[in-house]
Structure 1
């Protein structure tokens, strides 16, 4: 089961960090969000769904954290390393789940 995988547990921890960091920002816009506040709300919702085991959410999160996408656009340098870590974990889990 995916919830037992080390990568999954690491991903949850990193997404919790990302959620806390995103809460500190306001304004901005990206391809999928009209503000950082909207991104934060969506990230919070996806995190809850992912914690419930909804692996289909990996795809959406993968797009948000892909290099030069929503996360990088909205959080910029403050979240660069965290975003890269999350993207790598998401990429690995997507492969394992065939998503």
Structure 2
């Protein structure tokens, strides 16, 4: 059980680290449109909000993040950094699948 808690914290820490990298990259973009976000700036604001909530233990934001980093969704539309986006999506997918069990 203790190993499981440690592993989960490590995975969440790695996810948050990648999300912060994504946030920094996204902060350099402007304009555009994707899904419910009318600009890269709006998406950036929402991403910063979700990262803060996740850091504070609110895992309800996983769904939003999962949608945003899914292939051909907001991250791809605004930034297109495929490797980072895919890594984040896969991490979110694993967390999401564990929660739904």
Give 5+ residue unaligned stretches, structure 2.
Answer: none
Partner of 1:64: 68
Shift of 1:57: 0.4
- Runs of 4+ aligned residues of structure 1 deviating over 4 Å after TM superposition are 1-4
Give 5+ residue unaligned stretches, structure 1.
Answer: none
Aligned equivalents of 1:98, 1:49: Cα separation in 2:
20
Q: How many residues align?
A: 97
Partner of 1:51: 55
TM-score by length of structure 2 reads: 0.89
What is the RMSD computed on CA atoms of the aligned residues?
A: 1.8
TM-score by length of structure 1 reads: 0.91
Partner of 2:92: 90
* 2:28 equivalent to 1:24: yes
Aligned equivalents of 2:42, 2:14: Cα separation in 1:
24
